């Protein structure tokens, strides 16, 4: 058989003509049917690629078309010259190759999602001007103040300036931390929490300040948030989420959803969609910073325990977005901090008063009875703590 049955559309009317198609001299395609007689050089024709058993279309230069069932003759008439096309064609004929290509597609999608997107986001974050990050931070703060129920702090000025001093001591000599600032907010709906906004702003809630038993727990939390700041986690996380949104928008064809990026930042800050990698980086930074400032990293574990106790006191019915809900894997983090605390104790025996388990009575003979009568045990602890503050300069001199 050298001729094939086809349906011919002349490109002018919707009428279908049955024709027979045949190749002459390997160069000319001849169409013959009732009232149809055309001879067309092959180079003026284009054929649709073969795909499973789908009918093939041959387009003529004047817009006319032939529709015919797939047949090996068609591939003989129109041999593939492009090596890539030939290769794709061969792959398409093999079920194994098709299955493998699906696997390759899914895998490359996963690689793009898990490695490509973070990598690209980080490269963009490095290139973005600082003002962009600052502007994003201002936007996020405005949204938090408006929609997340953040109110002006009710901490008195003395308490605020005391904590600001501690924050300044933490970030002293930290490269790039000159513009990092600490803001206080009363956030009854959010509870004890601390947030690192893009561009250097750290927010601490009054609820967290009043929850902790020792200011060194606040140091630990702030050091963790400074870790997020130093590594631009908020911006990088925002870019990562944006990439996912932009890629999704490209597939869905709805680019307007990309504007959801800025709106999404307060949500991930409050509900914790920081990657685990970022949390671990911020933890490691905090433990290092505390130790460098002569504060035992075990205070980080202590802060976690205080927050954990708060969460369990609240009961499971409480679904407010607390600090721990935005910082999972508490147990592991406590263990890490305890380990760093033990290392600190070995390296700095002279700073024994900086440990959370420092026992003033047993170690320094400063016992409850020796203090003034109105002291209750908690206050003795505070008093001892004050004492520690006083000896700190000497102790740090000794350690140098
Ligand atoms: Zn964090």
Q: How far is the CA of 173 from the centre of ligand 1 (A)?
A: 22
**What is the pTM assigned to this prediction?**
0.64
CB 192 within 8 A of CB 207: yes
At 198, is the secondary structure helix, strand, or coil? Answer: coil
pLDDT value of position 91: 79
Residue-number span of the structural domain to which 65 is assigned: 3-80
Angle made by CA atoms 152, 158, 163, in degrees to the nearest 5 = 75
Q: How far is the CA of 288 from the centre of ligand 1 (A)?
A: 15
Q: How many domains does the chain have?
A: 3
Strand (E) positions, the chain? 3-9, 16-24, 28-33, 36-41, 46-47, 56-59, 65-68, 151-152, 181-186, 194-196, 201-205
At 238, is the secondary structure helix, strand, or coil? Answer: helix
pLDDT value of position 59: 93
Mark whether 208 and 278 lie in a shared domain. yes
Average of per-residue pLDDT values in the chain: 81
pLDDT value of position 378: 47
Residue 142 makes CB contacts below 8 A (sequence gap 6+) with none
- The residue among 21, 53, 80 that closes a domain is 80
Q: How far is the CA of 179 from the centre of ligand 1 (A)?
A: 20
Q: How far is the CA of 79 from the centre of ligand 1 (A)?
A: 61
Asked, for residue 173, whether it belongs to a domain, the answer is yes
Residue 164 makes CB contacts below 8 A (sequence gap 6+) with 182
**Mean pLDDT throughout 44-73?**
88
Counting residues of the chain whose pLDDT is more than 70, the rounded percentage is 80
Tokens of 104: 């390759």
Asked, for residue 160, whether it belongs to a domain, the answer is yes
Banded pLDDT at 392 (limits 50, 70, 90):
very low
Q: How far is the CA of 89 from the centre of ligand 1 (A)?
A: 51
CB 302 within 8 A of CB 286: no
Any idea which residue has 């817009």 for tokens?
63
| CATH code of the domain covering residue 57 | 2.30.29.30
Asked, for residue 90, whether it belongs to a domain, the answer is no
Q: How far is the CA of 194 from the centre of ligand 1 (A)?
A: 8
Tokens of 314: 């609240």
Q: Which long-range contacts (CB under 8 A, 24 or more apart) does 260-268 make?
A: 262/136, 262/139, 262/140, 262/143, 263/143, 264/238, 265/136, 265/139, 265/140, 265/143, 265/198, 265/234, 265/238, 266/140, 266/143, 266/144, 266/147, 266/148, 268/237, 268/238, 268/241
**Mean pLDDT throughout 146-158?**
90
Q: How far is the CA of 350 from the centre of ligand 1 (A)?
A: 31
**Rounded Cα gap, residues 75 and 91, in angstroms:** 16
Other CB atoms within 10 Å distance of the CB of residue 175? 6
Banded pLDDT at 253 (limits 50, 70, 90):
low
**pLDDT at residue 25 greater than cutoff 90:** no
CB 222 within 8 A of CB 282: no
Banded pLDDT at 379 (limits 50, 70, 90):
very low
Q: How far is the CA of 199 from the centre of ligand 1 (A)?
A: 15
Q: How far is the CA of 224 from the centre of ligand 1 (A)?
A: 6
Q: How far is the CA of 30 from the centre of ligand 1 (A)?
A: 74
Mark whether 370 and 304 lie in a shared domain. no
pLDDT value of position 322: 57
Mark whether 190 and 306 lie in a shared domain. yes
Q: How far is the CA of 109 from the centre of ligand 1 (A)?
A: 28
Higher pLDDT, 140 or 153: 153
Mark whether 332 and 370 lie in a shared domain. no
Mark whether 391 and 301 lie in a shared domain. no
Counting residues of the chain whose pLDDT is more than 90, the rounded percentage is 33
Q: Give per-residue pLDDT as tens, 342-376.
A: 888 888 877 777 778 777 777 677 777 655 444 44
Q: How far is the CA of 346 from the centre of ligand 1 (A)?
A: 27
Q: Quick one: which H or E segment has residue 85? A: helix 83-92
**pLDDT at residue 388 greater than cutoff 70:** no
Any idea which residue has 């390759």 for tokens?
104
Q: How far is the CA of 327 from the centre of ligand 1 (A)?
A: 6
Q: What is the dihedral of CA 56, 60, 64, 67, to 10 degrees?
A: -10
Banded pLDDT at 393 (limits 50, 70, 90):
very low
Banded pLDDT at 273 (limits 50, 70, 90):
low
Q: How far is the CA of 249 from the centre of ligand 1 (A)?
A: 29
Q: How far is the CA of 52 from the centre of ligand 1 (A)?
A: 53
Asked, for residue 251, whether it belongs to a domain, the answer is no
269 vs 114, 201, 211, 334, CA distance in Å?
Answer: 20, 13, 20, 21
32: exposed, middle or buried (Cβ count in 10 Å: 0-12, 13-18, 19+): middle
Mark whether 226 and 190 lie in a shared domain. yes
Higher pLDDT, 247 or 7: 7
**Rounded Cα gap, residues 211 and 217, in angstroms:** 10
The closest of 148, 254, 152 to 197, measured between CA atoms, is: 148
Any idea which residue has 């263990």 for tokens?
335
pLDDT value of position 348: 81
**pLDDT at residue 309 greater than cutoff 90:** no
pLDDT value of position 230: 92
Asked, for residue 247, whether it belongs to a domain, the answer is no
Tokens of 37: 């007689």
Q: How far is the CA of 174 from the centre of ligand 1 (A)?
A: 18
Asked, for residue 14, whether it belongs to a domain, the answer is yes
Mark whether 319 and 376 lie in a shared domain. no
Q: How far is the CA of 128 from the centre of ligand 1 (A)?
A: 23
pLDDT value of position 275: 79
Banded pLDDT at 184 (limits 50, 70, 90):
very high
Q: How far is the CA of 262 from the centre of ligand 1 (A)?
A: 19
Q: What is the distance of C-alpha 295 from the center of its chain?
A: 30
Asked, for residue 196, whether it belongs to a domain, the answer is yes
Give 71's DSSP letter. -
Mark whether 179 and 315 lie in a shared domain. yes
Tokens of 239: 């870019």
Q: How far is the CA of 216 from the centre of ligand 1 (A)?
A: 17
Q: How far is the CA of 227 from the centre of ligand 1 (A)?
A: 8
Banded pLDDT at 377 (limits 50, 70, 90):
very low
Q: Give per-residue pLDDT as tens, 85-144.
A: 778 777 777 888 888 888 998 898 888 878 888 888 888 888 888 888 888 888 889 888
**Rounded Cα gap, residues 310 and 207, in angstroms:** 11
Asked, for residue 122, whether it belongs to a domain, the answer is no
Q: How far is the CA of 344 from the centre of ligand 1 (A)?
A: 22
192 vs 205, 207, 210, 296, CA distance in Å?
Answer: 6, 5, 8, 22
Q: How far is the CA of 225 from the centre of ligand 1 (A)?
A: 6
Mark whether 22 and 156 lie in a shared domain. no
- The residue among 39, 56, 80 that closes a domain is 80
Mark whether 213 and 297 lie in a shared domain. yes
pLDDT value of position 271: 62
At 317, is the secondary structure helix, strand, or coil? Answer: coil
Q: What is the distance of C-alpha 72 from the center of its chain?
A: 52
Q: How far is the CA of 39 from the centre of ligand 1 (A)?
A: 74
pLDDT value of position 375: 45
**Mean pLDDT throughout 330-350?**
86
Mark whether 143 and 192 lie in a shared domain. yes
The closest of 382, 383, 392, 379 to 353, measured between CA atoms, is: 392
At 79, is the secondary structure helix, strand, or coil? Answer: coil
- The residue among 80, 104, 121 that closes a domain is 80
Mark whether 29 and 70 lie in a shared domain. yes
Q: How far is the CA of 273 from the centre of ligand 1 (A)?
A: 10
């Amino acid at each position: 058989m050298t001729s094939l049955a086809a349906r011919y559309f002349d490109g002018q009317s919707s009428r279908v003509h049955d024709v027979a198609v045949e190749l002459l001299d390997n160069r000319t395609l001849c169409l013959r049917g009732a009232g149809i007689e055309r001879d067309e050089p092959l180079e003026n024709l284009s054929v649709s690629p073969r795909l499973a058993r789908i009918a093939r279309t041959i387009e003529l230069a004047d817009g006319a078309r032939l529709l015919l069932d797939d047949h090996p003759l068609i591939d003989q008439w129109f041999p593939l010259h492009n090596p890539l096309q030939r290769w794709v064609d061969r792959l398409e004929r093999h079920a194994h190759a098709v299955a493998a290509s699906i696997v390759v597609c899914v895998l490359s999608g996963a690689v793009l999602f898990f490695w490509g997107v973070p990598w690209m986001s980080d490269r963009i974050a490095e290139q973005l001007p600082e003002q962009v990050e600052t502007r994003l931070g201002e936007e996020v703060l405005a949204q938090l103040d408006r929609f997340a129920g953040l109110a002006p702090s009710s901490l008195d000025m003395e308490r605020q300036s005391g904590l600001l001093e501690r924050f300044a001591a933490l970030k002293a000599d930290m490269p790039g931390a000159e513009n990092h600032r600490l803001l206080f907010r009363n956030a009854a709906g959010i509870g004890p929490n601390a947030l690192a906004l893009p561009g250097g702003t750290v927010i601490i809630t009054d609820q967290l300040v009043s929850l902790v038993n020792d200011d060194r727990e606040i140091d630990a939390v702030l050091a963790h948030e400074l870790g997020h700041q130093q590594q631009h986690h908020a911006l990088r996380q925002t870019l990562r989420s944006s990439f996912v949104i932009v890629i999704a928008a490209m597939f869905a064809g709805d680019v307007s959803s990309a504007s959801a990026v800025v709106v999404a930042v307060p949500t991930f800050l409050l509900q914790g969609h920081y990657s685990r990698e970022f949390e671990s980086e911020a933890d490691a930074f905090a433990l290092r910073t505390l130790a460098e400032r002569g504060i035992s990293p075990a205070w980080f574990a202590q802060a976690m325990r205080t927050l954990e106790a708060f969460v369990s006191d609240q009961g499971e019915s409480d679904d407010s977005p607390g600090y721990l809900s935005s910082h999972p894997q508490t147990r592991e983090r406590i263990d890490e901090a305890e380990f760093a605390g033990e290392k600190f104790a070995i390296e700095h025996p002279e700073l024994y008063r900086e440990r959370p388990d420092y026992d003033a009575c047993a170690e320094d003979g400063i016992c409850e009875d020796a203090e003034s009568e109105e002291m209750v045990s908690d206050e003795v602890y505070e008093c001892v703590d004050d004492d520690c503050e006083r000896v700190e300069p000497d102790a740090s001199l000794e350690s140098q």
